[in-house]
Amino acid sequence: MHRFLSAPVAVCHSIEATRLIEATAMADLPPRALMQRAGQSLARFALAVAPHARTIWIACGPGNNGGDGMEAAIHLRRLHPNVVVTWFGDMRQLPSEAKQALEAAMEAGVTFAIQPPDSLRPGDLCIDALLGIGANRAPKGKMNEWLQLMRSAPSDLISVDVPSGLDAESGVLLPNMGFGETTMMAGILLPGALPDITRSVKHPQQRRYTLTFLSGKPGLLTGEGIDLAGEIWLDPLGAETWVRAVQPEWTVNRSKPKRVVDHHAHKGARGDVVIVGGAGDAQKDHSMAGACTLAGAAALHGGAGRVYMHLLDARAPRNNPLQPELMYRSIRDLDLQKVTAVCGCGGGDAVGTLIPDLFTDCKQLVLDADALNVVATDAALRTLLQYRAQMGWQTVMTPHPLEAARLLGRKDAAEVQANRLQAVRELVDVFECVVVLKGSGTLIAGPGMPCHINVTGNSRLATAGTGDVLAGFIGALMAQGMPAFEAACAAVRRHGEVADEWPTATQLTALDVAHRL
Ligand SMILES: NC(=O)C1=CN([C@@H]2O[C@H](COP(=O)(O)OP(=O)(O)OC[C@H]3O[C@@H](n4cnc5c(N)ncnc54)[C@H](OP(=O)(O)O)[C@@H]3O)[C@@H](O)[C@H]2O)[C@@H](O)CC1
Ligand SMILES: Nc1ncnc2c1ncn2[C@@H]1O[C@H](COP(=O)(O)OP(=O)(O)O)[C@@H](O)[C@H]1O
Ligand SMILES: [K+]
């Protein structure tokens, strides 16, 4: 057992792959052995996490996840005076291994309560063994009440395998089905699906852990999974050989920026970046030039030798005393073959007029914000992107979920969030370039590349302009010679890391992020 994200290499398997690993491991082991190992591991983990708990409440569900909880109860009962087990299930419908675990628990004298413990205090422990990777709809009724109680209690919480009700593949909480009990999987929203309106608020004193078995699960690392999972531990249950035999689909992003370090390097050798955007509307007295300044500052602090600014807003000053290193120049006066262009930051519709030239002339391109919105509405640009791919020119797109929805022709951001992993792959297929799908658990994918999940960063990045900073940073790394996919991965990781390192009591602004890259 180890802390999942502390391992030198951390990978995630799809749920289908995990099922395959489970089946092949079980075929080689005596019946119930894997579940017994899971129970033992869980009991050990529980005592390590909450050694002074007065009460340990294990809530067991109707499938094998509940079986893990019962196996753990058998051990914990021997070692702890107050273990309360509640069980939500039907003996006749229990899978055979979970049934054996239930019978063994009864034989061992585990007592089953009808209700959860009366009071849950700080230091006590709740164990959520209600649903695992077999969850196919939102928990309702009593099961939902128990979950809300556990998630809002001041006590510590261990989710067994995955937090119950979370789609372990996509990282979304499974929605309530409005009409009847239609099943759904892998975040595919079926007609009639209602959002879960009963999300509980985490108690500030609660420490959350997930002890996951056999394989890393992508849904723990993106979307709503990160908050629900807490600190993730992985126990392969002795099935490492079978785990290694199955190809993982996702790799935890560990990439680091590579910058020019030669002693004799001059500014021309460190790469040129041009930031294109910053539209204005004189009639409305609007200007988005600041978005370009942020991207430009990020490109400078990200190591680019020279950073040019092509501002669309004719009224915006061509000088910024806060960042005097930025040079204001039209793209017409630059050799676009030799610069990396970061296009779209605060670009408005006006950026559309420059895009065709940038697409045909510029070998290294980062598309953000309004540049993405232009691409979403113009099929000819899609063809140009495919042409770029054939030429071996490098393009990175950095959509947030709403921009991704526009690019994919989806109704809204929620449709993308419902299955971020699928969305990012689809974007790569359609646009044949590197795609960074931003948000909690940013995803990075590219043609023929292993998909990466980023685990740095936090909601302090949810402030205007941090996306511009990321785009400028990616451009700077590409300008310094990193291939597009590596540059995107490295920039996303470091950008998030800045937010993780920032002192908790101080507000983080986008410019702060740029200055610390
Ligand atoms: N086998 C082994 O040796 C090992 C197994 N392992 C463990 O097994 C877990 C997977 O087990 P699993 O496949 O039984 O799935 P799990 O999530 O426990 O239950 C699904 C059941 O719940 C039901 N159901 C679904 N949603 C529901 C809802 N909202 N509300 C109410 N009911 C709902 C659904 O039935 P349905 O009602 O849809 O017919 C189904 O019967 C895995 O996560 C890991 O913990 C590991 O220890 C390794 C060793
Ligand atoms: N909760 C969060 N956890 C991690 N990263 C986040 C979170 N919220 C936002 N971010 C990051 O902050 C950046 C916001 O980008 P974006 O939405 O384009 O903002 P803007 O357009 O204002 O620059 C992205 O890199 C995104 O991944
Ligand atoms: K669980």
Is 52 in the same domain as 191?
yes
The DSSP code sequence of 453-475 is E-----GGG-STTHHHHHHHHHH
Q: Does residue 470 have its Cβ closer than 6 Å to ligand 2?
A: yes
User: Which of 1, 35, 40, 131 for mutating ligand 1's site (highest number of atoms within 8 Å of CB)?
Assistant: 131
**Residue 291 sits in a domain of what CATH number?**
3.40.1190.20
Is 78 in the same domain as 134?
yes
Residue 438 lies in a domain: yes
Minimum-distance ligand 1 atom for the alpha carbon of 133: 43
Do the Cβ atoms of 389 and 407 come closer than 8 Å?
A: no
Residue 281 lies in a domain: yes
Structure token pair of residue 363: 């070998």
Helices of type H across 141-206 = 141-152
Burial class (CB in 10 A: 0-12, 13-18, 19+), 262: exposed
491 alpha carbon – ligand 2 mean position (Å): 13
Query: pLDDT digit of tens for each residue in the chain (517 aa)?
Result: 999 999 999 999 999 999 999 999 999 899 899 999 999 999 999 999 999 999 999 999 999 999 999 999 999 999 999 999 999 888 889 999 999 999 999 999 998 999 999 889 999 999 999 999 999 999 999 999 999 999 999 999 999 999 999 999 999 998 754 333 333 334 344 434 434 434 568 899 999 999 999 999 999 999 889 999 999 999 999 999 999 999 999 999 999 988 777 778 777 778 999 999 998 888 888 889 999 999 999 999 999 999 999 999 988 889 888 899 999 999 999 999 999 999 999 888 889 999 999 999 999 999 999 999 999 999 999 999 999 999 999 999 999 999 999 999 999 999 999 899 999 999 999 999 999 999 999 999 999 998 999 999 999 999 999 999 999 999 999 999 999 999 999 999 999 999 999 998 899 999 999 999 9
Total domain count for the chain? 2
User: Which of 294, 436, 443, 461 for mutating ligand 2's site (highest number of atoms within 8 Å of CB)?
Assistant: 461
Structure token pair of residue 96: 């055979």
Of the three residues 202, 219, 252, the one that is the final residue of a domain is: 252
Of the three residues 252, 279, 304, the one that is the final residue of a domain is: 252
CA atoms within 13 A on the CB side of 128: 33
For residues 480 and 461, give the distance between their C-alpha atoms in angstroms, rounded to a whole number.
25
Nearest bound ligand to the CA of residue 213: 1
Angle at 255 between CA 225 and CA 507, to 5 degrees: 60
Q: Write down the pLDDT at residue 493.
A: 97
Is 153 in the same domain as 241?
yes
The DSSP code sequence of 393-437 is -EEEE---HHHHHHHHT-SSHHHHHTTHHHHHHHHHHHH-SEEEE
Nearest bound ligand to the CA of residue 63: 1
Is 286 in the same domain as 399?
yes
Residue 431 lies in a domain: yes
Residue 85 lies in a domain: yes
Is 279 in the same domain as 238?
no
For residues 448 and 411, give the distance between their C-alpha atoms in angstroms, rounded to a whole number.
28
**What number of other Cβ atoms are within 10 A of residue 7's Cβ?**
12
Of the three residues 252, 283, 315, the one that is the final residue of a domain is: 252
Is 283 in the same domain as 238?
no
291 annotated as belonging to a binding site for a ligand: yes
Q: Write down the pLDDT at residue 190.
A: 41
DSSP state letter for 258: -
Do the Cβ atoms of 116 and 155 come closer than 8 Å?
A: no
Is 208 in the same domain as 281?
no
The DSSP code sequence of 90-107 is -GGGS-HHHHHHHHHHHH
Minimum-distance ligand 2 atom for the alpha carbon of 495: 25
Residue 391 lies in a domain: yes
Is 247 in the same domain as 378?
no
Q: Does residue 65 have its Cβ closer than 6 Å to ligand 1?
A: yes
Structure token pair of residue 279: 């539209």
133 alpha carbon – ligand 1 mean position (Å): 6
Is 352 in the same domain as 234?
no
**Residue 143 sits in a domain of what CATH number?**
3.40.50.10260
Q: Write down the pLDDT at residue 179.
A: 37
Residue 263 lies in a domain: no
Residue 430 lies in a domain: yes
Nearest bound ligand to the CA of residue 160: 3
Q: Write down the pLDDT at residue 176.
A: 58
Is 232 in the same domain as 359?
no
Residue 262 lies in a domain: no
Is 243 in the same domain as 281?
no
Q: Write down the pLDDT at residue 199.
A: 59
253 annotated as belonging to a binding site for a ligand: no
- Rg of the chain over all Cα atoms, to the nearest angstrom: 26
Q: Does residue 113 have its Cβ closer than 6 Å to ligand 2?
A: no
For residues 36 and 44, give the distance between their C-alpha atoms in angstroms, rounded to a whole number.
12
162 alpha carbon – ligand 1 mean position (Å): 11
Is 208 in the same domain as 300?
no
Domain holding 134, by residue range, is: 2-252
